[in-house]
Amino acid sequence: MKRRLLLVSNSTLHGGGYLDHCQNQISDFFGRDVRRVLFVPYALHDRDAYTKTARDKFKTLGYEVDGIHEASDPVAAVKNAEAIFIGGGNTFRLLKSLYDNQVVTEIRRRVLEDSVPYMGSSAGTNVATVSINTTNDMPIVYPPSFSAIGLVPFNINPHYLDPDPHSRHMGETREQRITQFHEEPDTPSVLGLREGSMLLVEGDKATLLGTTRARLFSRGKASVEYEPGSDISFLLTQ
């Protein structure tokens, strides 16, 4: 048994439709063994509309989608899932709903013990990590904990943005905010996934996929850039 994760920075890339930029990776990831995907739309308010968007897209790829909110028992839905996809939106709303529906532990168990494929996008990628402390979202609700599902031993910052040297905006850059996070003790590394990038985890191997580079921030060290195709498996053993 081994974990299988596809952690995508963003659901929509400029110039394309929903999940268009990563549809080949999705097909490769789920393969032919998966027929139905359990979709978790908790990050957005209109769960029915969000599920329809995911259902319509996945149908074009040959997969059926079940919304977890449509099930009478969310925990049972996770227990019976062939694959899990958690979509993007507000990370605080998402994590609170995961805790409220008591599925955090069961998702972790299914992925780490049963090798159920897990795909996340944006907020869904955030909650796959150690914590949601490095999300870009506003805390519109208060989850019982910032600790997330913990499928990997580091954090991710989706939609990572580089400083714009021509901008007159005087607020903190993304780099500065991640540095502030690392000013706290015992904080894990943070992988900044630019839009268009994604991380594939298969057991103890992690590979950067997509069309853009990723930037790794580690406490007390200089940041490092990684090109698409890079093997960054060392992050899984930190």
Whose tokens are 């714009």? That residue is 164
Known catalytic residue: 122?
A: yes
137 noted as active-site residue: yes
Active-site residue among 122, 131, 189, 197?
122
Alpha-carbon dihedral 94, 96, 102, 106, rounded to 10 degrees: 40
Q: Which of 69, 100, 159, 233 is catalytic?
A: 159
Active-site entry in 9, 137, 189, 197? 137
Max CA distance (Å), the chain: 52
What amino acid occupies position 151?
Answer: L
Torsion of CA 214, 218, 220, 225, to 10 degrees: -20
Q: Which of 110, 105, 89, 3 is nearest to 40 (CA)?
A: 89
- Is 159 known to be catalytic? yes
Active-site residues, by number, are 122, 137, 159
